[in-house]
């Protein structure tokens, strides 16, 4: 069913978040994305009819400013999709204390504060549309850890746990689920050796692309009976 209340996708200026925003917009949803860094592409996204809000979740003030703006401008929400994320490895970092703080801030503190602050808006969305959703974009590494992205994996595990807590707290009005991709799409900078090693990690040995994530988001939004669960998108990696 088409919900009248808007859907917010954080980190929607590129890649998976943008693909989800465009797909849901094309379906007729009112879609709002957040972006951190303004660039030309944001103007094009806005011109397509998707509202773009600048938000930097790297500080508590940035999170609270975003919350304040949304509470001022909207009286209902159909869904919030926590997609904003930084993927940083320990090897690229000189200060691992700051790395853990940064990972925790964007992957746990921001979704936690936003979910608590938007309960009323999502319940109003449920009242209007009969459905409301919170979706956390986590990661396969929640299950297995990562020896190269330790702080990232731990923070995504924190986000995964928020799925259980908020599913219990917000039922039956708001469904709360996670989507845990393994490899969805490479970066242009990924070399052939890295790509081959990443492909070999799953049974299906393919780079599915962002549309695999779009399909999962659409399923979760359209489901009437899924909450507190994680949808794994990993090509059978857990069986390798």
Ligand X SMILES: Nc1nc2c(c(=O)[nH]1)N=C([C@H](O)[C@@H](O)CO)CN2
Ligand Y SMILES: NC(=O)C1=CN([C@@H]2O[C@H](COP(=O)(O)OP(=O)(O)OC[C@H]3O[C@@H](n4cnc5c(N)ncnc54)[C@H](OP(=O)(O)O)[C@@H]3O)[C@@H](O)[C@H]2O)C=CC1
Q: Which does 106 bind (CB under 5 to 8 A by kind): ligand X, ligand Y, none?
A: ligand Y
- Angle at 82 (CA atoms; ends 79, 86), nearest 5 degrees: 165
d(CA 8, CA 6): 7
- Minimum CB separation of residue 108 from ligand Y in Å reads 12
- Minimum CB separation of residue 128 from ligand X in Å reads 32
**Cβ nearer to ligand X, comparing 41 with 75:** 41
**Cβ nearer to ligand X, comparing 83 with 227:** 83
Q: Which does 220 bind (CB under 5 to 8 A by kind): ligand X, ligand Y, none?
A: none
- Angle at 52 (CA atoms; ends 48, 54), nearest 5 degrees: 155
88 binds ligand Y (CB under 6 A): no
Q: Which two structure tokens, joined as six digits, stand for 233?
A: 């998108």
CA distances from 68 to 60, 61, 63, 113, 114 (A): 12, 10, 9, 12, 10
197 to 216: interface string for ligand Y, x by CB under 6 A: --------------------
Residue nearest ligand Y, Cβ-based: 11
Please say if 152 is a catalytic residue. Answer: yes
Among 87, 120, 148, 222, binds ligand X (CB under 6 A): 87
SS3 39: coil
139 binds ligand Y (CB under 6 A): yes
**Cβ nearer to ligand Y, comparing 141 with 174:** 141
Percent helix, strand, coil in the chain, to 5, is 50, 15, 35
54 bridge partner residues: 35
| Spatial contact of 205 and 199, defined as CB atoms under 8 Å apart | yes
What DSSP letter does each residue of 77-117 carry, written as one string? -SEEEE-------GGG-S-HHHHHHHHHIIIIIHHHHHHHH
Which of these is catalytic: 29, 152, 170, 225?
152
45 binds ligand X (CB under 6 A): no
Residue reference for tokens 């969305």:
125
d(CA 218, CA 209): 15
- Minimum CB separation of residue 197 from ligand Y in Å reads 14
58 binds ligand Y (CB under 6 A): yes
85 binds ligand X (CB under 6 A): yes
Q: CB burial class (10 A; 0-12, 13-18, 19+) of residue 45?
A: buried
Among 24, 134, 183, 233, binds ligand X (CB under 6 A): 183
Binding site for ligand X (CB under 6 A): 85-87, 139, 182-184, 198
Binding site for ligand Y (CB under 6 A): 11, 13-17, 35-37, 55-58, 83-87, 106, 137, 139, 181, 183-185
């Amino acid at each position: 069913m088409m919900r009248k209340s808007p859907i917010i996708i954080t980190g929607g200026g590129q890649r998976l978040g943008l693909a989800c925003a465009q797909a849901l917009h094309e379906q007729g949803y009112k879609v709002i994305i957040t972006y951190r860094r303004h660039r030309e592409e944001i103007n094009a996204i806005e011109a397509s009819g998707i509202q773009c809000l600048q938000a930097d979740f790297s500080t508590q003030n940035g999170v609270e400013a975003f919350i304040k703006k949304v509470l001022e401008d909207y009286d209902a929400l159909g869904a919030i999709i926590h997609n904003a994320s930084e993927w940083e490895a320990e090897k690229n970092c000189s200060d691992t204390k700051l790395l853990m703080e940064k990972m925790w801030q964007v992957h746990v503190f921001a979704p936690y504060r936003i979910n608590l602050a938007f309960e009323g808006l999502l319940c109003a969305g449920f009242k209007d549309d009969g459905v409301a959703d919170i979706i956390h974009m986590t990661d396969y590494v929640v299950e297995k850890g990562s020896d190269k992205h330790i702080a990232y994996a731990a923070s995504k595990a924190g986000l995964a746990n928020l799925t259980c807590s908020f599913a219990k707290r917000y039922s039956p009005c708001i469904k709360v689920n996670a989507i845990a991709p393994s490899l969805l799409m490479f970066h242009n900078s990924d070399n052939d050796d890295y790509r081959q090693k990443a492909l070999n990690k799953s049974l299906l040995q393919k780079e599915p692309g962002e549309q695999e994530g779009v399909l999962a988001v659409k399923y979760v939004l359209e489901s009437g009976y899924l909450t507190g669960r994680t949808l794994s998108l990993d090509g059978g990696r857990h069986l390798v």
